[in-house]
Amino acid sequence: MGSIQPTSVFASAEYIPPDAIFEVTKGFLADSDPRKVNVGAGTYRDENGKPWVLPSVRMAKEIVANCGHEYLPIAGLKTFRDKAAELVFHDTKAWSEGRVATCQSLSGTGALHLAGLALKKANPTLKTALITEPTWSNHDLLFSSLGFEVIKLPYYKTGAFDFPSYMAALRAAPSGSVIVLHSCAHNPTGCDPSKEQWKEIATVIAEKSMFPVFDSAYLGFNSGNVDEDAWAIRYFIEELKMEASVCLSFAKSMGLYGERIGLVTFSTGSQDTARVMNSILENVQRATVSTPPVYGAQIAGAVLNTPEIAKQWAQDLITMSSRVQSTRRKLYEELLRLGTPGDWSHIVKQSGMFGYTGISPAQIKELQLKYHIYMADTSRISIAGLNESNVEYFAQAMDHVVRTIN
C-alpha cells in the first residue's frame, strides 16, 4: 500500500506580493550605477545624500550609553511617555486635568495598531475606519487587518487637496466611524487642509460622532515647529473638546528609524476614562509585543527631558525642514528653467517630506530604466532624497520622460 500524503495546511495559501515601497529600495540598493537616485523611501538624507544622525541625538546617546538592557514596563519608559505627550498636549485642559492615556509603541505603525486594538476592545460597536484616497499604504492594511471595514474618502485632484469631494464623502460616511487624519504633511500627497478647512472638517466629524485618530509621524519635521504642526490636534481637543487618539512617531523627527520609537495617546473626557484606557492599552500591548524597546526610548527621552538637548533638537527640526523646503524650490525652478511641459507649481505648494509629481507609470518606469531613478509607482517622491548634487539630474530626467513618454 502506498503511503498517504497528508494535505498541507498551507494548500490554500496565496502568495502576497512584497510591499511596493520596500521593493523600490531593494532595487535601488542592487543598482550599481553611480547616478542612481532613490526618491522612494521616506527617510531624511543630508545634502550629500547620506543618513543624518541629528546632533541632538548624538548628545542624547552620550547620556544613555550605559542604559542597560532590562525590560521596560508594559506601557514603556514613563519619562519618555510623559514628555512626548506633553509635547503635543501642553497648555491643554486634557493634559492639565490628567485626561490623557499613553503607551509607548513600535513607532507610528505600532501606535496606530495599538490604537485600533484599544478602540476595538473599548467599544466593539466600532466597525468602520475612514481613510483618505490616496494615503499611506499601511493605513488600509492595518485597519482592515484589525477587522474594520475601510472606506476611502477622495482627497487629491490635479495637484491639490480636493476639499469639495472630501467633504461630500465625509458627510455621506457612516456616523460613529473611526476616522484617520494626517496631522500635517499628508502622506503621500503633501497637501494639507488650511486651518479654515480643518475647522469645517472638525465640525462634520463632531456632528457625526466620529472618533479621530491623528497619524502624527511628522510633527516638527513639516514646518520646523511642533506646535504649528500640531494645530489641528489642539483645535479638535481644546477648542471642540473632542476625544481623540494621537499616534506619534519619532522616526522622522529624530532620525530614529530603526529604533521604532512611538507613542499612542488617547485624550479622553475624564480621568476615570483615561485610567480605563491606560489599562486597555497595557492589555493590548501585552498581547502583542509584551514590552517595548528600551534604547531608542532612552534616547528620545533624553532629547525631550534635557533642556540643552531639547533646544538643539528644535534647531535640528529647522535644519531638516528648511533643507526639504529649499530642495522643493530648487526642483521647481529647474523644471521651469527647462521649460518642462505642464504646471509644476504643486511641487512648491505641497509640504513635508513627500510630493506628488503626477507623472504616469510608464514615465516612472522609464526613469528607472534609463536614469536609474527609483520612486513609488504612485509618482510620490521623497523630497529628502534630492540634494544639490542630484536635483538637476533628476529634473532633466523628468523633463525627458514628460516630453517623450505618454
Q: How confident is the model at residue 2, as a pLDDT?
A: 61
**Alpha helix ranges (H) inside 289-341:** 295-305, 307-338
Using DSSP bridges, classify how beta strands 149-154 and 128-133 pair: parallel, antiparallel or unpaired: parallel
Fold observed for domain 20-52+321-404: Aspartate Aminotransferase, domain 1 (3.90.1150)
Q: How confident is the model at residue 277, as a pLDDT?
A: 98
Q: How confident is the model at residue 21, as a pLDDT?
A: 81
Taking residues 35-63, what's their average pLDDT?
A: 93
Q: How confident is the model at residue 382, as a pLDDT?
A: 93
Is this model's pTM higher than 0.85 or not?
yes
| Residue 1 reports pLDDT greater than 80 | no
Q: How confident is the model at residue 22, as a pLDDT?
A: 85
Tens of pLDDT, residues 299-337? 999 999 999 999 999 999 999 999 999 999 999 999 999
Locate 132 and state its grid cell. 483618505
Taking residues 199-219, what's their average pLDDT?
A: 98
Q: Is there a shared CATH topology between the 20-52+321-404 domain and the 55-309 domain? A: no
Tens of pLDDT, residues 151-185? 999 999 988 999 999 999 999 999 999 999 999 99
Strand partners, 249: 262
Average confidence score pLDDT of the chain:
95
Tens of pLDDT, residues 85-122? 999 999 999 999 999 999 999 999 999 999 999 999 99
Q: How confident is the model at residue 311, as a pLDDT?
A: 98
Task: Kindly indicate the confidence band of residue 49, based on its pLDDT and cuts at 50, 70 and 90.
Answer: confident
How many CA atoms does the CB half-sphere of 191 hold within 13 Å? Answer: 23
Strand partners, 156: 161
Q: How confident is the model at residue 68, as a pLDDT?
A: 85
For the chain, the domains span 20-52+321-404, 55-309
Task: Kindly indicate the confidence band of residue 344, based on its pLDDT and cuts at 50, 70 and 90.
Answer: very high
| Residue 353 reports pLDDT greater than 60 | yes
Considering only CA atoms, which of 135, 143, 123 is closest in space to residue 161?
A: 135
Q: How confident is the model at residue 66, as a pLDDT?
A: 84
| Residue 18 reports pLDDT greater than 90 | no
Fold observed for domain 55-309: Aspartate Aminotransferase; domain 2 (3.40.640)
Q: How confident is the model at residue 388, as a pLDDT?
A: 92
| Residue 218 reports pLDDT greater than 70 | yes
- CA 61 to chain CA centroid, Å, is 24
CA distance 271 to 265: 14
The answer to whether 392 and 336 have CB atoms below 8 angstroms apart is: no
Whether cis (ω within 30° of 0) applies to the bond prior to 134 is: yes
